[in-house]
Amino acid sequence: MKRPDATAVQKIWQAASPSVVPNLLRRMNERRLIEAVQAKGPLSRAALVRHTGISPPTVSKLVQSLIQARLLEEVEPQSGSAGRPAKLLRLAGKGVCIVAAVVDLKQCSLAAAGLDGTLREDRVVRFPTPDDYAQLLQTLVDHVRQLASAENAATLALGLCIPGLIDRRRQRVLLSANLHLLDGQRPAADLQRRLNIPVVLLHETDALCLGQRAFGPARGLDDLVLIDAAGGLGMAVMIGGQLLAGYRGLAGEIGHLTVEPHGRPCGCGNVGCLETVASDATLAERVSQRIGQTVNIDQVVEMVRRGTLQVDAELNQTLDYLAIGVAGAVNIFNPAAVLIHGRMFDLCDDAFDRLRASVARRALTPSLAECRILRASGGKLQSAVAATISHLTSVLGPKV
Ligand SMILES: [Zn+2]
């Protein structure tokens, strides 16, 4: 396993051009180029000039340096272009890799990927989430080492995606309402010490948001909201291309907004929080109570598809509450798109349309007029890969 240290990206640069220590302007411009390629897909040098406004000679010089640093790679354009088509640039798929890990309530999953973010099933491992923190760390370490040693590439970073409130500045888990073994822990620092590669702690909804922007329907958008209704109810907000963090990095906890003053207890200690009535998990709980058998959302979807279960009442109730959250996000943040992640939309063909109709009744008309309400695509692991790559690009230099 190759083990670059915490400044791996800069060291790779300096090895590529040892006489030149990148200055701030250069680093900011390199970040702009990387972000343009990330947002718009493979681009020619001329397209990079158009998208970034950086001069052609500077683009040419910086691209060469980024290719030498193995962060960008050249690909042949698709056939059919007139004349002599220019080569395209994309994020590197060879030579360097990242590892992304998703810690979920029941299952953990890890994948190695190039900077192009392509996820291959043969580079994915999954295991049941251990019951205690020490065992979780050890299992993650073992799997990261195995994945990294199978890659013929330098591992630049590990991104660790977890549910819960994260103090982004101190990289500490403050509260994981549904996975308490993480409470108060610093898993990124603990894993970095053992693995000797940079490890970044990712909030799962931030990761989903970055995933939608890099690979999903929000590609290229700078103002969007992601609502994850799968386990609890999380929200990530991106404004002007920057994720909203708040003073301690805790912004976006819409799931713990009280909507039922005397409602059911929530994992956070309050009662009647939105996530106790508006998520896949709560829909499955309601169904479980009615049928007298504990079922999760995947089982509910399966039974409905087989025609052995009807859940219209539970679905409509869940969608009504979820619409309150979505309409609130539209009214408060005025995004270009709200993306919603959840399995409840697999229960019937018009479930998402029902949500849209309910949001339209509750949101301010001018705010909703140019806001698209979309179903999120891709899974958490793909999103964790996108978020880890996004973290690397932010290491390159400050945003302009
Ligand atoms: Zn709560």
Distance 275 CA to ligand 1 centre (A): 7
Per-residue pLDDT, 271: 97
Please say if the pLDDT value at position 301 is more than 90: yes
Share of the chain above pLDDT 70, in %: 91
Domain residue ranges of the chain, discontinuous segments joined by +:
8-91, 96-209+381-396, 219-376
Tens-digit pLDDT profile for residues 100-132: 999 988 899 999 998 888 887 788 999 999 999
Distance 229 CA to ligand 1 centre (A): 14
Per-residue pLDDT, 20: 44
Lowest-pLDDT range of 30-34, 125-129, 383-387: 30-34
With cut-offs at 50, 70 and 90, classify the pLDDT of residue 19.
very low
Residues with CB under 5 A from ligand 1 (ion): 256, 266, 268, 270, 273
Please say if the pLDDT value at position 40 is more than 90: no
Homologous superfamily in CATH for domain 219-376: ATPase, nucleotide binding domain (3.30.420.40)
Per-residue pLDDT, 21: 47
Per-residue pLDDT, 351: 97
The pTM of the full predicted model, rounded to 2 decimals, is 0.80
Distance between CA atoms of residues 322 and 365, nearest Å: 18
Distance between CA atoms of residues 197 and 388, nearest Å: 13
Lowest-pLDDT range of 20-29, 151-160, 279-288, 345-354: 20-29
Distance 274 CA to ligand 1 centre (A): 7
Domain 96-209+381-396 matches domain 219-376 at the CATH topology level:
yes
Please say if the pLDDT value at position 245 is more than 90: no
CATH number for region 8-91 = 1.10.10.10
Between 68 and 181, the higher pLDDT residue = 181
With cut-offs at 50, 70 and 90, classify the pLDDT of residue 178.
confident
Homologous superfamily in CATH for domain 96-209+381-396: ATPase, nucleotide binding domain (3.30.420.40)
Q: Name the DSSP letter for residue 241.
A: T
With cut-offs at 50, 70 and 90, classify the pLDDT of residue 6.
very low
Are 95 and 154 in contact, with CB atoms under 8 Å apart? Answer: yes
Distance 231 CA to ligand 1 centre (A): 13
Q: How far is CA 65 from CA 17, 34, 93, in A?
A: 7, 12, 17
